[in-house]
Amino acid sequence: MMQNIKLRFHVSHILSDLLADCLSSLGASGVASVDRTEFEAIYLAQKDAVYATDAVDEYLSELPEFVLVEAWFSPENKLVGVQNNTPVLVDLDGDFQGELYEVQDKEPVPLCDVVAFIEEKMAAFQEFFGGDYRYLGAELIESEDWENAWKEFYAPLRLSSRITVCPSWIDYQANPGEELISLDPGTAFGTGYHESTELCTAYLDELAFREEDFFQEARMLDLGTGSGILAIIMAKLGAKYLEAVDIDGQAVETAKENFAKNNLNFYPEKSGDKKEGYFLYPGELSDTGGKFDLLVANLIAKLHVDLAEEYERALNKKGYLLLSGIIDSKMRDVLTALEKVGLKLKEARLKNDWWALVFRKPEK
Ligand code: SAM
């Protein structure tokens, strides 16, 4: 029997993805959440197709308001140890940047230090987003199949009328017209379970349908590609020229793996003179070259405000800018900053507390 550690937390919906992200970057082998808001949203969207609605209503009404987040740490990735009957996480680097490396010469890190680190991160998020956070405790679990236990929480996720994200271990038969994106929850942000990604997907799907020729000819950029999810979706919807960048080099590596998993060829570098292809490389907006007809950025509100002038410069005339990851309380700030640099708001979409805004650069 192997021993693993399961850490448990209660958080507000608004913080749950950030916590999951933090736990993944610490090396959790799996992170799962039970989120009433998410269940309700999925249920409402599919209510007509659900039988036994009374039972579902009852189940939902019994779920707590907060989100239960559980993270598994396993000996396989050298993160778990036991000292004096107390679980410790080992092999984290000194300042907990989440790098994984061999355990041999590493001192165990007491679990309380790891929890303190997580708490510090969450306190910073709370300052920005609000919401509650509580650590519930750790459990040593003995399991022969811990590695697969968390997989039960994932199912194919229909993100828009044509796009479904499906974990690779699920054998799912796509319906006619449905594009399957194979994507496993990894250490980079972007499994599709966040509203900000879903809002972008829906908009991209509609744009590609409405303006098919534009979509195929456009020079596109996915800024902050994370797992590569939006770039993969753009490629599947017909993009011919696409740059996908992320300030986090590890995220770019994950994005490359996900491109390969979806049978998409790419160049692991800038485009140079090439007029077609997918280009994945680490960087920021200032590292990209040329101008874009469609720039997608799922970041945070403050970054959008800071980047407003750069966005404007990076767009071709009549180019689209799709900004996501904007929490409700900061939406006005983003709108004001982007209008100030001369971009025109075309659409604003809200899901739970998250906005996606679409701007267009005027012809002159
Ligand atoms: N595009 C994915 C999605 O929609 O699900 C992931 C979005 S995630 C919210 C934001 C990503 O942006 C992270 O992977 C982060 O590393 C990256 N990022 C943050 N600041 C950035 C910047 N200034 N330039 C480029 N990428 C950045």
134 CA to centre of ligand 1 in angstroms: 26
Is the pTM value of this prediction over 0.85?
no
Q: Which residue type sits at 47?
A: K
Atom 11 of ligand 1 has which residue's CA nearest to it?
224
Give 110 Cα–ligand 1 centroid separation in angstroms. Answer: 31
Highest mean pLDDT out of 5-9, 185-189, 339-343, 348-352: 339-343
Dist CA 339 CA 345 (whole Å): 7
**Given the CA of residue 231, which atom of ligand 1 is nearest to it?**
1
Q: Which helix (H) or strand (E) holds 182?
A: strand 179-182
Instruction: Return the residue whose CA atom lies nearest to atom 17 of ligand 1.
Output: 224
Q: Give the domain ranges of the chain.
A: 3-152, 157-360
Please tell me the residue having the least CA distance from ligand 1 atom 5. 190
**CA 297 to ligand 1 center in whole angstroms:** 7
Please indicate whether residue 311 or residue 108 has the higher confidence score (pLDDT): 311
Tell me the per-residue pLDDT of 202-226, one tens digit each, with 9 for 90 and over. 999 999 999 999 999 999 999 999 9
Distance between terminal CA atoms of the chain?
68
Q: How far is the CA of 224 from the centre of ligand 1 (A)?
A: 3
- How far does residue 228's CA lie from ligand 1's centre (Å)? 10
Atom of ligand 1 nearest to the CA of 188: 14
pLDDT on residue 99: 35
> Which token pair is 305?
């405000």
Closest-CA residue, ligand 1 atom 16, reads 248
Which stretch of 36-50, 75-89, 180-194, 308-322 has the lowest confidence by average pLDDT? 75-89
Cα of 181 to ligand 1 centre, how many Å? 19
Count Cβ neighbours within 10 Å for each residue of 275-300 and write b for 16 or more, e otherwise: eeebbbbbeebeebeeebbbbbbbbb
Quick one: pLDDT at residue 107? 57
Alpha-helix runs per DSSP H in 97-228: 111-129, 146-149, 195-210, 212-217
Around ligand 1, the residues with Cβ closer than 6 Å are: 188-190, 197, 200, 223-226, 229-230, 245-248, 251, 284, 298-299, 303, 325
- pLDDT mean across residues, the chain: 82
Mind listing the pLDDT tens digit for each residue in 220-276? 999 999 989 999 999 999 999 999 999 989 889 989 999 999 999 999 999 998 999
Higher pLDDT, 129 or 341: 341
Ligand 1 atom closest to the CA of 283, numbered from 1: 25
Closest-CA residue, ligand 1 atom 23, reads: 284
Q: How far is the CA of 298 from the centre of ligand 1 (A)?
A: 6
pLDDT of residue 91: 45
Q: Cα 148–154–159 angle (5° rounding)?
A: 155
- Nearest residue by C-alpha to atom 14 in ligand 1: 226
Residue 102 pLDDT: 33
Class in CATH terms, 157-360: alpha beta
User: Which atom of ligand 1 is the closest one to the Cα of 222?
Assistant: 1
Report residue 45's pLDDT band, with 50, 70 and 90 as the boundaries.
Answer: low
- The predicted-structure confidence for 255-264, as pLDDT tens digits, reads as follows 999 999 999 9
How confident is the model over 137-158, as a mean pLDDT?
A: 67
